[in-house]
Amino acid sequence: MSVSLQKGQKVSLSKENPGLSRIVVGLGWDEAQPSKSGGFFGALFSAPTQPIDCDASAFLLKNGRLTESKDIVYFGNLTHYTRAVQHMGDNLTGAGEGDDEQIVIDLQRVPAQYDKIVIVVNIYSAYKRNQHFGMIRNAFIRIVNAGNGQEMLKYNLTENYSGMTAMIFGEIYRYNGEWKFAAVGSGTNDGSISALAERYQ
C-alpha cells in the first residue's frame, strides 16, 4: 500500500520492505494553464513561449557533502560510476501522464561511503526563458519497489513555488542500517544544476 506524505515527513523504506534492493524514483509535473479571465492576474501570468524543460538529478553525498562532479547523476551523466544509480533519460516537455523522469537506485550497490542521495529538479535555462515553478502544477515524487512494481510512497508538492527555478524534492538516506526517505519540497532560485550542486559542497 502506498503512503501519501506531507512536506517534512520521513518514512523508512527498508523496514517495511525486507530485502528491498532496487527502487524507482519517479518524478512528474505538468505545465499550469494561465487564467482565461484575463485582468490583472492574467497579465501577470502568461503562457510560456517554450515548453518548460524540467531536469531531474540525483546528488550522491558523502557525510552530507557532494565532493565530486561524478557523483551527480543527470541527463549529461546518466549512470553513476558504481552503477548504483541510473537516470532513465531526459524528458524535454513534461507532456503525458505518469512519471516524466525516472531514476533507478540499487540500494544494495550504493557504497557505504555514500550516506544520502538528494533528488532535485531544475528548470533548464529558467532565467533565459523567464520560467519558474509557479508555471508548473501537479508536481510529485514517488518511490516504487522495482522488485514487484508496487508504489511505496508518494509526495505531492502542493505549495506555491512561484519565482522558484529549482526544487529539492526529497532525500533518500541511511540511518541506523535502514534506508529512509524524507519529503523536502524546498524551492530555490538556482539557475542550473551546477548552482544547485554548490549548496551541498
Residue 104: CATH number of its domain? 2.60.60.30
pLDDT class for 19, splitting at 50, 70, 90?
confident
Which stretch of 13-22, 59-68, 125-134, 156-165 has the lowest confidence by average pLDDT?
Answer: 13-22
Spatial contact of 26 and 144, defined as CB atoms under 8 Å apart: yes
**pLDDT on residue 98:** 83
How many of the other CB atoms lie within 10 Å of CB of 57?
A: 22
Domain containing 46 equals 3-200
Spatial contact of 125 and 193, defined as CB atoms under 8 Å apart: no
pLDDT class for 153, splitting at 50, 70, 90?
very high
pLDDT class for 71, splitting at 50, 70, 90?
very high
Spatial contact of 86 and 8, defined as CB atoms under 8 Å apart: no
Q: What's the CA dihedral at 143, 147, 150, 155 to 10 degrees? A: 0
What is the count of structural domains for the chain?
1
Strand 85-87, strand 166-175: pairing: unpaired
pLDDT class for 146, splitting at 50, 70, 90?
very high
Question: Whole-angstrom Cα distance, residue 178 to residue 157?
Answer: 25
**pLDDT on residue 16:** 81
CB-based contacts of 152, cutoff 8 Å, min separation 6:
2, 3, 13, 16, 17, 23, 142, 143, 144, 145
pLDDT in tens, 128-137: 999 999 999 9
Question: Whole-angstrom Cα distance, residue 198 to residue 201?
Answer: 5
Burial of 174 (0-12, 13-18, 19+ CB in 10 A): middle
**pLDDT on residue 74:** 96
**pLDDT on residue 94:** 45
Instruction: Indicate the average pLDDT of the chain.
Output: 89
Question: Whole-angstrom Cα distance, residue 20 to residue 23?
Answer: 8
More confident residue, 38 or 88: 88
How many of the other CB atoms lie within 10 Å of CB of 135?
A: 22
**pLDDT on residue 90:** 64
pLDDT in tens, 21-64: 999 999 999 988 765 554 444 444 455 567 889 999 999 999 99
